[in-house]
A and B are shown apart, each in its own frame.
Chain A
Amino acid sequence: MRVLETTKLSFAYDDGTTALRDLTMTLDDGEKVAILGPNGAGKSTLLHLLSGFRMPFDGTVAVCGRKLEQQSADDIRRDLGLLFQDPDDQLFMPTVEEDVAFGPRTLKLDDIEGRVLRGLRSTGIEHLAKRRPHRLSHGMKKRAAIAGILAMDPRVLLLDEPTSGLDPKSRSELVRLLKSMDRTMLIATHDLEAAAEIVDRAIVLNVGVVKEGTIRDIVTDSKVMEEVGLELPAISRLFKELDSMGYPVEALPVSMDQAVAELTKVIDRVGRQARSRGVTKTAGQKKKT
């Protein structure tokens, strides 16, 4: 089922800045899609617009089959869980658990305690339940904010730069968390590397749609990468390097999983060659480093 659909969506701020132009996109149930683009590309604007906070706009937006309008905005928001770029905007209550309970409580949902527990558990912050949200580390704030969204059990997660401002460890933990979550999500980010780990499909946005496809499609299109100033994931750079050093790469890997698969192939091939030449192991080991 189609959960999100925009056609010819355009939006300009009061001061005349055009933030979105002729954006047509879809998101299906169960899909994870990334919106990639540099700063100022309109990613945040898009997510806030989808949540009904940027009115009026040109074109149409449909969420779970309902047309987004002033009157339907409140209802539509119930299907959406928006993670703000800055968790400080989102965290409100004096303790983490109260903050997580805030949404379910105002919406008068059932089983609040259970929801809070599940939200905290799936983001791995049960131990922080009684802490003050504003004094947590940035990474933990993001998790608390995500827990607050999960507790409301929305159909679609809209995540605005979920990995920005995180140190490498909490970043990779969050990536793993988002990857493991079985939910429909739209992730706005300029972190190509994280997107590659999490999503199936991506849309490159720079006010309008620049390109749409798998992350690999995008990464291998150097013109697009140049135009919007996206940086190649480190793992892809490594394999490009290998390629130019004479170890041919069949398909440029963009995520760790793909890299492992590719590496296995390379090692296999080199191993076979080496064996046929009567040398073993040493060559294969060299490849790994």
Chain B
Amino acid sequence: MIVLHVRTGQAAGHLDEHARSVWFGKLDARAKILGIFAFVIAAALLTDPVLVMCALACALVTALLSRLPPRHLAKAYLAALPFLAFASFSVFLFAGFERGISMLARTSACVIALLVLATGTDTFELFSGLRRLRVPGILTTLLMLTHRYLLLLSEELDRMRTARRARGFSGGRSLLDVQAFRVLSNTAGMLLVRSSGRADRIFEALKMRGFSKDMRPWRETRIAALDAAFMLALVAIAASLLLLQMEVFP
């Protein structure tokens, strides 16, 4: 999930600004987390192919309604697609075409819902939301730090790639290119060294500002009617999908 956030965040720089300007971005993070997770859990439990399709449709509708940039969501989804396709393909091999398709639909529904949550929620809101849902402070802090370090790694990698290019390196496309391999493994080594030095400094900078272990949200927000409505709607969808699956309704 964090990796997802970092990757989507890297892909479109202005994204968090955007996330905050659409209605979905303004919802209370706790409501979003609870609602989306209820939906994801329900979707993961579905087996009836028709209901799975319904769940996928719901996820798509949520994505549309969220007003998040569709191109961006599509890009992030495509990045995840190979993994989904691989999983579905193995199901397809062992259990037949229909099961394979329904697996793809199910995982897609979950991923799309999570993508909407990840791209439509400000980074810090996401973590402080988790914190306020009583996730232990040490855990959210770890998540937050992990997030920062991942950002850092990808920034560092970017810079080194540029530096390499600037000096005329263009290999790395063929696995047989030994020279390219050497350069790349050097890069990996340098990346570790450079990031560990940097990681030390970041930690020093944190200590300089009195950081010990907990992170609190700055502005205490309340769950408003809209937040509650959004959460309840998603929970209701999740519940009815599950109830339909259990054939409570004839």
Contacts and interface: CB of A to CB of B under 8 A. Distances in A.
A180 to B, nearest CB: 24
Nearest to B15: A132
- Interface of B, secondary structure class, is helix
Given A89-B201, A132-B16, A134-B155, A102 B123 contact: no
B94 interface: no
A288 interface: no
B209 A106 contact: yes
Interface residues of B, number: 24
B218 A53 contact: no
A94 B9 CA distance: 11
B201 A84 contact: yes
A57 B212 CA distance: 24
Contact of A89 (B16, B198, B210, B218): B198
A117 B209 CA distance: 17
Interface residues of A, number: 33
A112 B218 contact: yes
A16 to B, nearest CB: 18
B202 A94 contact: no
Contacts of B123: 94
A107 B210 CA distance: 6
Contacts of B155: 88, 134
Interface of A: 48, 51, 53, 74, 77-78, 80-82, 84, 86, 88-90, 92-95, 98, 101-103, 105-107, 112, 130-132, 134-135, 148, 152
17 contacts: A51-B208, A84-B201, A89-B201, A89-B202, A92-B148, A92-B202, A92-B206, A93-B124, A94-B122, A94-B123, A103-B210, A106-B209, A130-B20, A132-B16, A134-B155, A135-B13, A152-B209
